[in-house]
Amino acid sequence: MAKTVVIAEHGGPEVLKLEDRPLGAPGPGEVLIRHEVCGLNFIDIYQRTGLYPMDLPAALGMEAAGVIEAVGEGVTHLKPGDRAAYAAAPPGAYAEARVMAAAQVCPLPDGISFEDGAAVMLKGLTTHYLFRRTTPIAKGDTVLFHAAAGGVGLIACQWAASEGITLIGTAGTDEKCQLALDHGATHCINYRTEDFAARVRDLTDGEGVDVVMDAVGADTFEGSLDSLKPLGMMISFGNASGPVPPFSIGVLGQKGSLKITRPTLFTHIAEPETCQQMARGLFEKLTSGAIKMRVDQRFTLDDVGEAHRALEARKTTGSTVLIP
């Protein structure tokens, strides 16, 4: 048996319940992993509230790190006793242990702690596809990144700095702006006190940025489009303020033949070898020191509701983890 966080209905943090679930043995292509640390992400809130509908009842949680206890037939990249970490669907990472498909479970280098491993997988692999797999971004290019002091944001600031990319961040307080700057952002705009689109134009001599990376959604969408240079790329990869409302595609032509995409991590990591390659590239960033994880909030599984409230209220910085 393993304690697991489940929901029987969509709703607020109060629907999160902790229950004992049987584990069983891993079947072909599966592993049994005992979690040392579990990650917390905004996608978990989207699933809890029903913005991303799920078949219920369902477990929650998309990433964790721990130790492999058993492997099923055909699993060759992991063995019992190995340290491992993952970001994977379907959810179920808010648990002491679970049996799951092995394809997206990645060997975790000894030099990376379980806490960093659990905190980095979903957010770090997201950063990987944003900078490496969505649109060409080269040294000297300029990126606008919203919520730059959040979990993905602080990784993105460091990633950009390590590759000579100018990153203009946005955040909701001066303190969060300073945090982004401390992690490698070139500039950071307090969107509560400044019009970020106008400030971006000032910072780029009126040209705009090459790429916008926006996980905020409804509140920043129009300003994001107005921050792009002609032929620029808008990457909308989240909905923290709510989903982007319908818009006329002709607007993209009017604003400079802009491009837009709505990627998800799980499309990028669906092919097992691609997932493993991306993880190796991410771990190289950590072991080289180019990226340092910042875990600012820690909760027990019993306090998962409080963790969700803090994340939803944007009271967190860096990454948040759950300790089984």
Give me the pLDDT at residue 37, please.
98
Beta bridge partners of 298: 321
Give me the pLDDT at residue 315, please.
86
Q: What is the DSSP string of 164-211?
A: T-EEEEEESSHHHHHHHHHTT-SEEEETTTS-HHHHHHHHTTT--EEE
* pLDDT per position as a tens digit, 84-110: 999 999 999 999 999 999 999 999 999
Q: Is 129 part of a structural domain of the chain?
A: no
Identify the helix (H) or strand (E) that includes residue 131: helix 114-132
How far is the C-alpha of 230 from the C-alpha of 3, rounded, in Å?
Answer: 52
Whether residue 18 sits in one domain with residue 103 = yes
Q: Give the model's confidence band at 319: pLDDT under 50 very low, under 70 low, under 90 confident, else very high.
A: confident
- Structure-block tokens of residue 288: 């080289």
Q: Give the model's confidence band at 241: pLDDT under 50 very low, under 70 low, under 90 confident, else very high.
A: confident
51 or 133, which is more confident?
133
* pLDDT per position as a tens digit, 164-220: 999 999 999 999 999 999 999 999 999 999 999 999 999 999 999 999 999 998 899
Q: Does 243 score more than 90 pLDDT? A: no
316 or 69, which is more confident?
69
Q: Give the model's confidence band at 60: pLDDT under 50 very low, under 70 low, under 90 confident, else very high.
A: very high
Q: Per-residue pLDDT averaged across 104-125, rounded? A: 96
Q: What is the DSSP string of 42-98?
A: HHHHHHHHTSS---SSEE--SEEEEEEEEE-TT--S--TT-EEEEE-SS---SBSEE
Q: Is 115 part of a structural domain of the chain?
A: yes
Among 262, 282, 315, identify where a domain stops: 262
Q: Does 39 score more than 90 pLDDT? A: yes
Whether residue 210 sits in one domain with residue 160 = yes
Q: Does 113 score more than 90 pLDDT? A: yes
Going by their DSSP bridges, the two strands 58-59 and 2-7 should be labelled as: antiparallel
Whether residue 179 sits in one domain with residue 63 = no
Whether residue 140 sits in one domain with residue 118 = no
Q: Per-residue pLDDT averaged across 156-171, rounded? A: 98
Whether residue 227 sits in one domain with residue 250 = yes
Q: Is 19 part of a structural domain of the chain?
A: yes
318 or 308, which is more confident?
308
Per the document, the length of the chain is 324
Give me the pLDDT at residue 232, please.
98
Whether residue 293 sits in one domain with residue 237 = no
Q: Does 242 score more than 90 pLDDT? A: no
* pLDDT per position as a tens digit, 1-17: 999 999 999 999 999 99
Cis peptide bond prior to 90, omega within 30° of 0:
yes
238: how many CB neighbours lie within 10 A of its CB?
23
Q: Is 63 part of a structural domain of the chain?
A: yes
Q: How far are the Cα atoms of 3, 170, 177, 195 from residue 150, in angstroms, in the given order? A: 28, 10, 10, 20
Give me the pLDDT at residue 70, please.
98
Q: Is 109 part of a structural domain of the chain?
A: yes
Per the structure, how many domains does the chain have?
2
Q: Per-residue pLDDT averaged across 233-239, rounded? A: 94
Give the domain extent around 305. Answer: 2-123+266-323
Reported pTM: 0.92
Q: Give the model's confidence band at 239: pLDDT under 50 very low, under 70 low, under 90 confident, else very high.
A: confident
Whether residue 61 sits in one domain with residue 155 = no
Going by their DSSP bridges, the two strands 105-107 and 83-87 should be labelled as: antiparallel
Amino acid, res. 131? F
How far is the C-alpha of 80 from the C-alpha of 88, rounded, in Å?
Answer: 20
CB 85 within 8 A of CB 64: yes
Q: Is 147 part of a structural domain of the chain?
A: yes
Q: Give the model's confidence band at 44: pLDDT under 50 very low, under 70 low, under 90 confident, else very high.
A: very high
Give me the pLDDT at residue 318, please.
80
Q: Per-residue pLDDT averaged across 314-323, rounded? A: 88
> What does the mean pLDDT of the chain come to?
96
Give me the pLDDT at residue 142, please.
98
Give me the pLDDT at residue 209, please.
98
CATH number at residue 209: 3.40.50.720
Q: Is 130 part of a structural domain of the chain?
A: no
